[in-house]
Structure 1
């Protein structure tokens, strides 16, 4: 059974830091193991009536007994299976899908999957544990679309044509069999009807990282289908990437390397996406799993740094999820939505906490890299450090003193703030520092233009004044609300263009010449990033007169910033107000005329 865990004082201190701690990770994994055992027992006892009504599988107690036998024989193997990220995602999903308030098993399931198929994950888990423990056993398990995924082992492809059915898994002296399919002695090897779960092993200076490259199970971050099976060539590419990344981490970021070695369990690979916009994610249900895209082909030269910072970033989400199992950081009373400068959409308080913790680690990573890297990669490191120290500190300032935080939440925020504070005074070269400032200000103003809604009566009054040729009076900002604008996407466009300019000047030059495209960007953005303010101003004004992007108001404000006065201040601090007034007026006034009157709209 699960036992109650309390983190040591050293671990609590480490969790308030931008650095990483292997001992803390091991403590959190121990707590997660106990939690998984508890969740299994809850599912076994509360889900049995609903699952048993279908009569498709043996009782949950039979699966539990097999799991107990395996634990007696090989406890570390059972621990391995229970801590597998796929096991965590399955048990959490099964509990969420469990019919409520019905002990006779007649309630409707909470999703389209029959509950016995959810529940039968316990049988698959027991089969894996028994097989790894070397037991002789026989058990029925659920089959979905002809597939049987056995955690830590692989996936069998049966002949079943039903959407949901069952198959027998048996193990003994003649090996492991799934519905008549013989699993190879080494289950990582693929054979007819069997896809082995492959692992990646990297070593540097005696330190080892071993993770599953999981291209068999459903991504534990909300995906609905299994990823495409990697070819041998694609697998070899990932193997090389991880080895290069591991060498970088061990030699330059040893604390992060030790933490990842202790708790990173699997990688779920995705195809590469847009250049300089890699996709990555984690799930609170799947401790130690990182879902991430392959680097864009044009970014392979920087793959070690990109993959290293992605792993640090996402693994810190896993660590914080583990902490919150033991010490809640917020009490659920704050239902506000806030600006998170690493996201396009408004985020709740817990999203800010997660981002601040993850990006504190990102900032620390780039702080080290800027001392080590030279040339374009060094310039990029300076930019990333300057950008993320500023953005992380801004979010920490938002969080400080929030009444919705618990005592543990306040300690976390204060610890991170104390560590990041001195970094704000560290000098950054002019070009990456200026670009980081542009990217930070532009993101916040673009976010406001999309997601902040000014008071409607104030908008109407200002629009009426402008339409009559009068300078409008001051407009109060009190009462503005935040709601998600689905069109508010790719707000990181200036940061992306800055990265391209610093890391690949040749590619950026081709973009300036009209060769290629960066989704979400415009000619005005390119001019702004290259410092051509007069050209950018003309292009943004023309874009707005044609009903262009909401973020063009932010860009226009940046072109006017050096002029000073209230107009650029309004464009950067309250662009949503000008956008709303422009929408109210339609084509009755140009953006240039509206901006010339903007001083009168400035916040009280």
Structure 2
């Protein structure tokens, strides 16, 4: 360990200077700018993050020391700091583990924001600050020191990071307890009253004690150890509920799932597994999600932490194993990019919103960059699975690779054209893009590519139908012309403007990709759904008969059903599906107008709504589309005319006119 890492008790300038010296050299940066993960990069980012934690703690202690009343009945912050320094001198590895715990990062960032007035919390400030005292006490226990330290209690619970939680029966929401240790035996006493002894093995439960569990697995010489943080005080994603304590059966299920996923990663993705072994630190368990829709999350202040829904039981064992493995890879890539962004910015200021094909909502630029980094790695994962899996699992892998490859390339090419990327951001994008383009010559079955194109086009059409509001004057002019029985105005074909406004109802826009996965992996379940049987699992949420017909290949039925849904205003997604189907109908005259409408389903939806408000009558959607399509007849280079509906997955950001962040 470097000298600068040995003692956290040092001045602000020294710690800041040490952090500023952490830079990835050119070779490591090249390794990071790829669709794979490397353990060398992981170690470099871990070192940088450790220095950053030291800096955050030093800033926190300095700010609290300047406001001594902020600690309430607890000891001064510098006493906790000195105890932590003693523990580090005795056991530096244990203190490093404490400081690198993802909860430490989340806590420190939250308290600094509270001290600076940028975030509010119902908890007393002294209770949040007091987690410094709990951190110091935990370090002292791990180092085998004799000590006494007051710490905060919340609803009778005292959390000692990386150790566990002492629990007392008390009605008081906020209190003070004392942690003490002598001769290697530690205990927690609440307000001078009841006592809980900390077990010698703190990961074990005891009387009044919940241990901090760990999951450990090993395969072919590579090991992974994760803290199971079901005692977390600070949410990885703001606003989410604290995790519930797992029962022993759930812990066993997690262990079995991790054993299988880790064996798969080590066998088939060994270099990735080496990186994950070094950098994955904790798991915050979430309730089971839907089949093919694993819930997961990560955060910039929680390096090495992944929130993950319990692996499902609906699908076959291999399916669940692959889902768990690819989700670990996905979230770990977010962690790596967050680590890089703690060292250097990747973009200039940019308030625009963009389409990201992996999300239902419009995303800021840095969110799109995060998605591109994560999902290009996901594409590489599925590329390997194409060579490993057979049968329906192999068909699924080829579909997923085709989809992730095309979406990643489209997003990366769009990002590369943006002036808001700085030099490091552009190097990152171009490194990823070089990897993705190198896969162009890898042949995939035509059916996999066709399904991937259909899924990507439908998601983008659904996204536009929800979130893009076309130019009001164009919509008004079109509604006027329809009402008067005139031809559609030329503005329909020449104006591609509009505004992005986030529609909170835009959810499950990946419904076609979701159903295609079901059709590939479980044809009988898909067939039963097509026949109208009640769903037997949580895999049809958000799907309608129109979507099922579309994925099932009955396009005439799908067109009729989407048109009916659009007429009754069931959901904006229907306009996207209908526009795509109309764009693909080969019997239409030139097809130029319908292909252009396939790129702009929001216009079809908006004009229909404007006419209905004026006349009080519902306009037949197909009739309206045929009429609007005539606006493109004779237009020179009409928007969308050259690309067709299938290219919607190739356009990943709104135009400058439509990408402005708006209110209202």
Is this a same-fold pair by TM over 0.5? yes
Structure 1 equivalent of residue 213 of structure 2:
198
Partner of 1:227, secondary structure, is coil
Mapped to 2, the partners of 1:133 and 1:225 lie a distance apart of: 33
Please name the residue that 2:465 is paired with.
Answer: 449
Match of 1:575 in 2: 601
Q: Distance in 1 between matches of 2:631 and 2:264?
A: 52
**Aligned pair partner of 2:533 in 515, 518, 541:** 515
C-alpha contact 1:158 1:193 (8 A) present in aligned 2:
yes
**Displacement after TM superposition at 1:225 (Å):** 3.6
Instruction: Report how far residue 277 of structure 1 moved.
Output: 1.2
Instruction: Return the offset for 1:424.
Output: 3.3
* CA deviation profile, 1:294-325 (whole Å, cap 9, x unmatched): 12221252121101100000000000000011
After TM superposition, the structure 1 stretch with the greater mean CA deviation from structure 2, 514-523 or 27-36, is: 514-523
1:601/1:198 CA distance change after superposition, 3 Å: farther
Q: Which residue of 2 aligns with 1:67?
A: 84
Secondary structure of the residue aligned to 1:5 is coil
Verify the 8 A CA contact 2:597 2:629 in the aligned structure 1: no
Checking the alignment, whether the CA contact within 8 Å between 2:164 and 2:211 is kept in structure 1 is yes
Shift of residue 121, structure 1, vs aligned partner: 1.1
**Selected match of 2:592 from 546, 566, 576:** 566
Quickly say closer, same or farther: Cα 1:215–1:315, change in 2 above 3 A.
same
**Which of 390, 394, 399 is equivalent to 1:383?**
399
In structure 2, the partner of 1:594 is: 624
Deviation for aligned residue 1:159? 3.5
1:274 counterpart = 2:290: yes
SS in 1 for 2:145: coil
| TM-score (normalised: structure 1) | 0.96
Counterpart of 1:124? Answer: 134
Residues of 1 paired with 2:545 and 2:119: CA distance?
52
Identify if the C-alpha distance between structure 1 residues 600 and 48 changes in structure 2 by more than 3 Å, giving closer, same or farther: farther
Which of 14, 18, 25 is equivalent to 1:8?
25
Deviations 1:369-414 (A, max 9, x none): 0111011111110110010111111111221131211110010011
* Change beyond 3 A, Cα 1:592–1:89: same
Q: How much has 1:73 moved relative to structure 2?
A: 0.3
Q: Larger deviation: 273-282 or 84-93?
A: 273-282
Deviation at 1:433, TM superposition (A): 2.0
1:177-576 maps to which residues of 2 (within 5 A)?
A: 177-179=187-189, 180-218=195-233, 219-301=235-317, 302-332=319-349, 334-474=350-490, 475=492, 476-517=494-535, 518-564=540-586, 565-576=591-602
Q: Secondary structure at the match of 2:439?
A: helix
Q: Distance in 1 between matches of 2:406 and 2:386?
A: 16
Q: In the superposition, relative to structure 1, how do residues 580 and 287 fare at CA in structure 2: closer, same or farther (>3 Å)? A: same
Q: How far apart in 1 are the matches of 2:277 and 2:77?
A: 34
Partner of 1:103: none
Asked whether the 8 Å contact 1:494–1:525 carries over to 2, the reply is yes
Give the equivalent residue in structure 2 for 1:148. 158
- Asked if structure 2 preserves the Cα contact closer than 8 Å seen for 1:267 and 1:290, the reply is yes
2: CA distance between counterparts of 1:50 and 1:159?
32
Any gaps of 5 or more consecutive residues in structure 2? 1-9, 190-194, 633-637, 640-664
Encode CA deviations 1:517-538: one digit per residue, 9 max, x unaligned. Answer: 4111111111111111111111
| CA–CA distance in structure 2, aligned partners of residues 295 and 500 of structure 1 | 17
5+ residue gaps, structure 1, are 101-107
**TM-superposed deviation, 1:157:** 0.8
Counterparts of 2:60 and 2:127, CA distance in 1: 13
Among 173, 182, 200, the residue aligned to 2:183:
173
Q: Of 23, 29, 33, which residue of structure 1 is paired with 2:40?
A: 23
2:97 and 2:220 map into 1 onto residues whose CA distance is 26
* Structural mapping, 1:32-181, within 5 Å: 32-50=49-67, 52-53=69-70, 55-100=72-117, 110-173=120-183, 175-179=185-189, 180-181=195-196
The alpha-carbon deviation at position 52 of structure 1 amounts to 2.5
CA deviation profile, 1:220-263 (whole Å, cap 9, x unmatched) = 22245421111111100100100010100001001110010001
Alpha-carbon distance in structure 2 between the residues aligned to 1:135 and 1:601: 81
Structure 1, 142-151 or 44-53: larger mean CA deviation: 44-53
Say which SS state the counterpart of residue 418 (structure 1) adopts.
helix
**DSSP 3-state at the match of 1:423:** coil
3-state secondary structure, aligned to 1:298: coil
Judge conservation of contact 1:287–1:318 (CA < 8 Å) in 2. Answer: yes
Offset at residue 573 of structure 1 (A): 0.7
Count of residues in Structure 1 that have an aligned counterpart in Structure 2? 596
